[in-house]
Amino acid sequence: METFEGYVEHIIYRNADNGYTVMNVVGDGEEITCVGSFHYIGEGELISVEGSYIEHPTYGQQLQVEKLEIKAPEDRVSIERYLGSGAIKGIGTALAARIVRHFKNDTFRIIEEEPERLVEIKGISERKAREIAEQIEDKKDMRKAMIFLQQYGISTSLAAKIYNHYGPATYKVVKENPYKMADDIEGVGFRIADEIAAKVGIHTDSDFRIRSGILYALVQAAADGHTYLPETELLGKTSGLLAVDAAHIGKHIMDLCINKKLVIKSEGERKDIYASQYYYLELNTARMLHDLDVSCDIQDSVIQTGLKAIERESDITLDEMQRAAVSEGVRHGLMIITGGPGTGKTTTINAMIKYFEREGLDILLAAPTGRAAKRMTETTGYEAQTIHRLLEITGIPDDANPRINFERNEQNPLEADVVIIDEMSMVDIHLIHALLRAVTVGTRLILVGDVNQLPSVGPGSVLKDIINAGVYTVVKLTKVFRQAVQSDIIVNAHKINAGERVVLDNKSRDFFFLKRQDPNVIISILIQLIQQKLPPYVDATSYDIQVLTPMRKGNLGVERLNTILQEYLNPKSPSKREKEYGQGLFREGDKVMQIKNNYQIEWEIRSKYGIPVEKGTGVFNGDMGIVKEINTYAETVTVEFDESRQVEYAFKQLEELELAYAITIHKSQGSEYPAVVIPLLTGPRMLMNRNLLYTAVTRARKCVTIVGSTETFQMMIDNESEQKRYSGLKERILEIS
């Protein structure tokens, strides 16, 4: 370990998000480059650092700082240097020299204890004197707080977030109730708060800990798709989490209800416990759906006349159910269309659009993901966008919702007569609530989706609950059209959904099954299919072909498959920069996926000359892209997503990305690929079900190839059990209706 003491001469680079800093430090006639995470260092400061020298491939020798101490400037040169460095807003080098010349070594004591005396210096007013004193005090307080927080193992970036939120109250919060941070600050969470509490000496059965544990158990439940938990399950999960007897937990549920943190809904003897946020999301969603459900008195003969004209002009023939769907869409403020692949959902949507256009109505189309919106655009010929872009996401939080904000809401509704949303099975309770806030009564809202697809990644079971409530107009398209029957993908998808046998004789042109039992043999076949066989067969590139697997772990899980596929599909090369992260690495040219919603991150679309032509915020769970550049000096990775949106990630943000040569079937929702390859061997029974297989098969446009065990394939068709999802939107709809 090397030590060095000197002044921060120049901050070359600083990442505002994580505090990563590259700076020149000068001391005893020597200048060195230091790197590390320091949110609170300014130019001109006197510091003592300890660390190890590393050799950067481009920028030479640097000191990787592991320990840093800020020293108060004591001699006149140090004080003048610090004040004139720009660290204190409003003081330049000339003014710093005048201050130190006047007060000499007593400068800092004067600023801290008698700041009014700064007016003795020419150019400093009373107001400016106060501002200088406040800045010195703030910086001193923040440094102390950062050092205090770091003794509890809190990173500098999180420590800065905590101090910025609480200010001088930081010490009180940490020592008395660190669980408050889990409620107030994104990024802390129950686990970190619990570790801090243990270090502070808070008892495991403290009231604060149990209440925070209850709320955390509900947060975890939401991550699994639930909007509430039955009381017995909540007690069990909280007891296991906290290692506290369930008998000690029950009374705290009522306390949290009194404090409006929880809502209890009783169903007979059963009690369902909601985090308040989710109860009111469901309740308000039900209320807004009810308000939109208005009827228009339009004669059927008028509608049928319009449809006949559309059929003639577009050279299409609608069946009875498709005609009914268009009629109901015209007559009702809210209606739902559901059906499997090949049942004519797209034709029905197109006929609706043409009908509404003939009436001179303004129409907006949207879907939950970029890929789904792109497909909607291709199939309808009308521009569709993501729901997030439709609602004009700003990434700027507000008091009502600290994580996300949309420009479109009750005060600024969507300017449309008709809003059509596709792939509704993917829409969670958060997104439907945000959408409904922006749709005014009198605007027609048409929801389209396949209710047999997997439910949304986020909490809730929106499409299923709306349909099962039996309150609103629902048209179920069941007839598979003649042209669709020519595709074994569609025929077999319907067979899977109905629990029928699928013929696996490989006489199909678009549905193949390769029987193999060895995981390594299966992987070698995947590579061969992606690199050689499928691209020319489906007229696509290797990057367009998607491996879909049921699991993350195991021999055929996402994590292992991605490591192997990366080697073959984007091998190591001197021309491709890399960045190791976690257990793996990212390489320029890699196919990657965003694995969490990031509403604040900025993207831009650039012209062929590299000039930004459009900017926006937000990248969402499931968005896929290509790593275009890895900048080891700036410590950034640039990814290009659909629609040529380029996003720059700091290295510390790489936890939001993962390789996407193989993805889970859950993550493929709403997407369509020229060809999919599905390895199927073994897996937990609850996961390996009909619903999952149906979703995987329906992701392919031209070709499905399954490699693995026919026994597992048949077992999945026979297994109707779906993972239980606790969702109360249906009950809220029935209460209001």
Coil, strand, or helix at residue 571? coil
Is there a single domain that holds both residue 273 and residue 300?
A: no
Structure tokens at 44: 């001109």
**344 among the known binding-site residues?**
yes
- In angstroms, what is the C-alpha Rg of the chain? 30
Helices within 58-169 (DSSP H only): 76-83, 93-103, 107-113, 126-150, 156-166
Is there a single domain that holds both residue 416 and residue 297?
A: yes
Among 70, 101, 125, residue at a domain's last position:
70
Given a contact cutoff of 8 angstroms between Cβ atoms, the answer to whether 159 and 145 are in contact is yes
Residue 318 located in a structural domain: yes
Coil, strand, or helix at residue 600? strand
Is there a single domain that holds both residue 303 and residue 386?
A: yes
Task: Provide the pLDDT for residue 16.
Answer: 63
Q: Per DSSP, what are the bridge partners of residue 30?
A: 27
- CATH number for the domain harbouring residue 392: 3.40.50.300
Residue 139 located in a structural domain: no
Using pLDDT thresholds of 50, 70 and 90, give the confidence band for residue 401. very low
Among 480, 498, 529, residue at a domain's last position:
480
Over residues 700-717, the pLDDT tens digits come to: 999 999 999 999 999 999
Number of domains in the chain: 4
Task: Provide the pLDDT for residue 399.
Answer: 39
Please give the average per-residue pLDDT across 344-366, as a whole number: 92
**346 among the known binding-site residues?**
yes
Residue 129 located in a structural domain: no
Angle at 605 between CA 437 and CA 594, to 5 degrees: 65
Integer Cα distance of 139 and 136 in angstroms: 5
Is there a single domain that holds both residue 322 and residue 454?
A: yes
Q: Mean pLDDT lowest for which of 235-244, 390-399, 448-457?
A: 390-399
Over residues 643-676, the pLDDT tens digits come to: 789 999 988 889 899 999 999 998 888 788 999 9
Task: Provide the pLDDT for residue 569.
Answer: 93
Considering only residues 153 and 43, tell me which one the structure prediction assigns the higher pLDDT.
Answer: 43
Please give the average per-residue pLDDT across 506-517, as a whole number: 93
Given a contact cutoff of 8 angstroms between Cβ atoms, the answer to whether 271 and 717 are in contact is no
**Has residue 262 got a pLDDT over 90?**
yes
- CATH number for the domain harbouring residue 10: 2.40.50.140
Q: Which amino acid is at 338?
A: T
Q: Mean pLDDT lowest for which of 81-90, 213-222, 345-354, 421-430?
A: 81-90
**Has residue 612 got a pLDDT over 90?**
no
**340 among the known binding-site residues?**
no
Coil, strand, or helix at residue 325? helix
Coil, strand, or helix at residue 165? helix
Is there a single domain that holds both residue 504 and residue 616?
A: yes
Integer Cα distance of 660 and 7 in angstroms: 45
Considering only residues 396 and 383, tell me which one the structure prediction assigns the higher pLDDT.
Answer: 383
CA distances from 289 to 265, 390, 445, 471 (A): 21, 19, 9, 10
Is there a single domain that holds both residue 402 and residue 438?
A: yes
Is there a single domain that holds both residue 246 and residue 344?
A: no
Among 257, 288, 319, residue at a domain's last position:
288
Integer Cα distance of 438 and 410 in angstroms: 5
- CATH number for the domain harbouring residue 269: 1.10.10.2220
Is there a single domain that holds both residue 233 and residue 333?
A: no
Integer Cα distance of 124 and 704 in angstroms: 75
Buried b (16+ CB within 10 A) or exposed e, 354-371: bbbeeeeeebbbbbbbbb
Task: Provide the pLDDT for residue 173.
Answer: 82
**% of the chain with per-residue pLDDT over 70:** 95
Coil, strand, or helix at residue 364? strand
Over residues 61-113, the pLDDT tens digits come to: 899 988 887 776 667 877 777 777 666 777 888 888 888 888 888 887 888 78
Considering only residues 148 and 413, tell me which one the structure prediction assigns the higher pLDDT.
Answer: 413
Is there a single domain that holds both residue 398 and residue 534?
A: no
Integer Cα distance of 322 and 403 in angstroms: 40
Task: Provide the pLDDT for residue 625.
Answer: 93
Using pLDDT thresholds of 50, 70 and 90, give the confidence band for residue 398. very low
**CA atoms 435, 438, 440, 443: torsion sign:** negative
Given a contact cutoff of 8 angstroms between Cβ atoms, the answer to whether 413 and 661 are in contact is no
Task: Provide the pLDDT for residue 87.
Answer: 64
**Has residue 721 got a pLDDT over 90?**
no
Over residues 220-230, the pLDDT tens digits come to: 899 889 999 99
Integer Cα distance of 702 and 436 in angstroms: 35
Using pLDDT thresholds of 50, 70 and 90, give the confidence band for residue 143. low
Task: Provide the pLDDT for residue 311.
Answer: 84
Please give the average per-residue pLDDT across 472-498, as a whole number: 88
**44 among the known binding-site residues?**
no
Domain that holds residue 605: 488-718
Task: Provide the pLDDT for residue 704.
Answer: 96
Residue 454 located in a structural domain: yes
Q: Concatenate the DSSP letters of all residues of 654-723 into one string.
A: GGGEEE-SEEETGGGTT--EEEEEEEES---TTTSSHHHHHHHHTTEEEEEEEEE-HHHHHHHHH-----
Q: What's the mean per-residue pLDDT of the chain?
A: 87
End-to-end CA distance of the chain, in Å?
71
Please give the average per-residue pLDDT across 247-259, as a whole number: 88
Classify residue 139 by burial, with Cβ atoms within 10 Å: 0-12, 13-18, 19+. Answer: middle
Extract long-range pairs of 491-495: CB within 8 Å, 24+ residues apart: 492/697, 492/704, 493/340, 493/341, 493/694, 493/697, 493/698, 494/340, 494/341, 494/342, 495/717
Q: Mean pLDDT lowest for which of 70-79, 517-526, 563-572?
A: 70-79
Integer Cα distance of 657 and 650 in angstroms: 11
Angle at 278 between CA 277 and CA 279, to 5 degrees: 95
**342 among the known binding-site residues?**
yes
Is there a single domain that holds both residue 616 and residue 646?
A: yes
Residue 162 located in a structural domain: no
Please give the average per-residue pLDDT across 681-694, as a whole number: 88
Task: Provide the pLDDT for residue 132.
Answer: 85
Over residues 626-641, the pLDDT tens digits come to: 999 999 888 899 999 9
Residue 91 located in a structural domain: no
Is there a single domain that holds both residue 493 and residue 612?
A: yes
Task: Provide the pLDDT for residue 42.
Answer: 73
Over residues 308-329, the pLDDT tens digits come to: 888 888 888 888 899 889 999 9
Please give the average per-residue pLDDT across 556-564, as a whole number: 94
> Who's near 203: CB < 8 A, 6+ residues apart?
209
Residue 402 located in a structural domain: yes
Is there a single domain that holds both residue 410 and residue 473?
A: yes
Q: Mean pLDDT lowest for which of 1-5, 43-47, 487-491?
A: 43-47
Q: Which amino acid is at 543?
A: Y
Residue 704 located in a structural domain: yes
